[in-house]
Structure 1
Amino acid sequence: MKTNPGRFFEDYRLGETIIHAVPRTVSGGERALYHAMYPARHALYSSDAFARACGLPASPIDDLAAFHVVFGKTVPDVSLNAVANLGYAEGRWLAPVYPGDTLRSESTVIGLKENSNGKSGVVYVRTRGINQNDTVVMEYVRWVMVRKNRLEVPAPEAVVPDLAKVVVPGALVIPAGLDFSSYDFALAGEAHRLGHYEIGEKIEHVDGVTIEEAEHMIATRLWQNTAKVHFDATFREDGKRLIYGGHVISMARALSFNGLANAQMIVALNGGAHANPCFAGDTVKCWSEVLDKAPTAAPGVGAIRLRLVAVKQGAAPFALKGEDGKYLPEVLLDLDYWALMPV
């Protein structure tokens, strides 16, 4: 058999490491298309001159664009036959990615748990993105619900990894040379610095974007994400193509610029959940909550921990969960991350 039907739940083995194909060299075209699809305006990722003034050799590729490249490599081996991508934890950006870098991905299976219906199970993997110098540029854990193909295969012993609820500030990796002591707030777009934000403060980002099939297809193909639920309308009972969760993450992050323009670099992903599916025609808006703040050793650089919540039309302001503790149906994304901001 020459073609690859993808892995099903019964095909995974605890502890195995999967080397994903195919390495990809990123370029400035990656940034241009990313900024065309999303209203991405963070200055550090838009201007070489701004990045150099902040101590970097040039403007890196957007942190989430690099994440999508690494993530996309994993899809044929991890989530081609997925029902849904469920969550993230212990994510860290360990080195900036620049145009000309070549990225590849590896994933280790760290957990398996068959669902009670016997038709699917949850696979936990720790993924590493590695550049041409064998430097690990990012790592994260995700868990995904995957279909079974041979229902008669006995369930493996359930192993659910014990994952940290938050990346501690001391584990955040600050890019070498980063210096915000001469940060240009006028060029960045807002005057708000770390001290202007209070823990517990909520920010309603006022803009919204209606998701279209065309842009979603471009994004999913750009990241070489081959998951069937994103392309094949016959693969779901409702006949709809599921919008790639990363598309919602990037859209929400871009929309959060209005109110968080100086939350420049994402350096950690503490946790995340795709609470409800997103489909073409949904209008995405978002809000943020300040969860924590921390100093760093880099001059003028602080860290802010944010909850980013994406919602669709009909959501009440700052709505998240109902009295039953479950996400409200209008909530699309609940993401917990650390970003770097001038103090």
Structure 2
Amino acid sequence: MACPVQFTCRALRTVGLILFYYVFSIGITFYNKWLMKGFHYPLFMTLVHLSIIFCLSALTRWTMRCWTGKPRIVLGWKDYLRKVSPTALATALDVGLSNWSFLFITISLYTMTKSSSVLFILFFSLFLKLEEPNPFLILVVLLISCGLFMFTFESTQFNLEGFIMVLLASFIGGIRWTLTQVLMQKAELGLQNPIDAMYHLQPIMIIGLFPLFLYNEGLSLSTSEKLFRVTELSPLLYSLFTLSVGGALAFGLGFSEFLLVSRTSSLTLSISGIFKEVCILLLASSLMGDKLSLLNWLGFAVCLCGISLHVGLKAYYSKNKGPSLRQLGSKSPELELPLLWQGRDQREDSADDCNDAEEHEINLH
């Protein structure tokens, strides 16, 4: 029968898209930590990645314009500076601090602390009335907060400076994703397509992060033998190659997230993000030597329960009360790109219509 075949093909496609997303998302986490061991310039690395993303998004826009024959959206300076710049500056600080924290903390502590961004996203969403108040949200906050406390309590690899950095990044991330949701819901701006959003966000992100880079790394980098005072060509080419790999991974992460959401749903991305964090912690403990006690694992489990409840609430409200709880993006460690698409599944009307079942579609808010 056609129904089982279609179901099997759809399931295999979903699994393939999730694995494709995992390659970039998990890969860039371990890439950042690996690079920071020998290249202590996280802000410069971030600037290089942002530049690569801008070039690749511009190339993609040009390709899409040639393929479809339709011009891409280009914002005027007034809308660009007033409406895009706040989101871009918040994103730049979130990304910069996240990468910076890898100099001090382990992947496990980063992953766990970054999960707290859900709390700040909820806070700013309620403050701006983008979320509907719900008593279950209190339980979500308590679970994630208690889990974070249990994970960091008496941790042998705890670093206060790095923890504060990534916690501040999570706080700014809450502002960032709330502003991004507002930005992409404005249909008149025309930034619902993530490629267009990336293209417009990157320049201000680079400009906003550049003064911080000059203050913290400018002098040190200018005298470093890894780049500007290099004595041989091969080390310079190696540094440029490794930095370029990170930029390609960051762009691939955004593309894989978009592909996963557009072919399945935003709920699939949220659920796969939970399992991704489990995979990261398991790999970090086995490959990177991260030490986790039983209390740390219990704290992580409690935090995952809170995140899972949050995902369940979004699914429930999207089906019963419309798109009131919106997808607020993934918690990627490098560049969490604006994925605010509210996906929904189109179900078959009856078993007889199985052969004509429509593919999943995505509503671009």
TM-score for both structures, normalised by structure 1:
0.30
Q: Which has the higher strand share?
A: 1
Q: Which of these two proteins has the greater Rg computed from alpha carbons? A: 2
Q: Which has the higher helix share?
A: 2
TM-score for both structures, normalised by structure 2:
0.29
